[in-house]
Structure formats: C-alpha cells, structure tokens
Amino acid sequence: MSKRFEESDNSNLNLLGEFKRIEQQGSVYDYLARFEDLKAWVLIKHPTILEEIFLGFFVEGLKGEIRHTVKMLDPFSLSQAMEKAKHKENLLEAVAKKGKGSAVRNMGQYNNNNSQAGFKTSRFPQRDGGSTSNNVGNNLFEARRARGECYKCGERYFPGHQCKNIQLNALSGTTEQG
C-alpha cells in the first residue's frame, strides 16, 4: 500500500483522494479492514483530522442498505458507526438465510381489493381448537376484516381511520398499612 502513495509527488493529495473514494465492495468486515488501513496512513500524514471527518467518510462509503440504517441511528462516534454497520450486515444475512418471504413482513401489508379495505392474512397456520371465548373473538375479528370494518369499533376502515369512541382503561389501587 505504501508504494502506491510514495510513487507520486502529490502523495498527500492521492492519500486523501483515495480515502474519500473508499467504498464498501464486499462485506462490512472487509470494508473495515481497508478503511482502518487507510485511516492509519491518513493519520500519519494528517494527525489533526477530527474523528467526525472519519465518521462521515466511513458512513458514506457503506453500501446503501447499510448506510441508510447507520445514518438513521445517528452514531456519535466512528466505533459506534462500525458496530451498527456490523449489526445491520448480520441482520441482512439472517434475513437472507430465512428466505425472501417473511411472515412478519406480509402480516401488515395493506390490501385494497374490490374497494374493501383490510389486511392480508398472515402466513401463520390457524390453530384448530374447541369453542372458546377466544374463538368467538377471532370470528368477530375475521368477520369485520371481511367486511372492511374497523376491528375495534366496527365502522368502515380506511387508512388514517380513528375510532370515535375512545376508551381509556385505568387501574388504581391502594395499599393497606397495618
């Protein structure tokens, strides 16, 4: 690596330019190794560069799906940004191993067929059981969903719907000293 920067008379400019253009090509771990190597060279030539500069270069060099998450988490240090990037990559790998379809992802997707509002059914299997009060609640829930009604109040459901009768449940208690 040092040969690359010693060949030119403008090695300081080449070093900073190389550092500014570094981008994640493979894994976050590979990117971290390249980033740390270049950071060491930059600090040798420019020891007064602030960590905030390195933080900005690091985040901007990440792949898009990782960069956006790290930015959203607003890391306050370079080491925190590196940890967040590793965690995001691990999450992406875990999701990829499970497969493209995820039950959690499909549960809340909005469905607008035949001008009836509702939600797609989950991919979790239905449990068969005896007639319990829970099944009665599930039947009401399913019937309201089929008619495009709100699950709580029974009025027509639409995005942004708010129930007119809002119920506040509260518990109060006292302790006896004795």
For residue range 65-122, what is the model confidence (pLDDT) as tens digits?
999 999 999 999 999 999 999 999 999 999 988 876 544 444 444 444 444 444 444 4
* Burial class of residue 119 (count of CB atoms within 10 Å of its CB; 0-12, 13-18, 19+): middle
Rounded to two decimals, the pTM is 0.50
pLDDT score of 137: 64
Question: Given 3-state DSSP classes, what are the helix, strand and coil percentages for the chain, each rounded to the nearest 5?
Answer: 55, 5, 40
Distance, in Å, from the CA atom of 145 to the CA atom of 143, rounded to the nearest integer, reads: 5
Contacts of 163 (CB under 8 A, 6+ apart): 150, 152, 153, 155
pLDDT tens-digit series, residues 2-60: 555 455 445 666 777 887 888 999 999 999 999 999 889 888 888 888 899 899 999 99
Task: Report whether pLDDT(161) > 80.
Answer: no
For 122-174, strand residue ranges (E) read: none
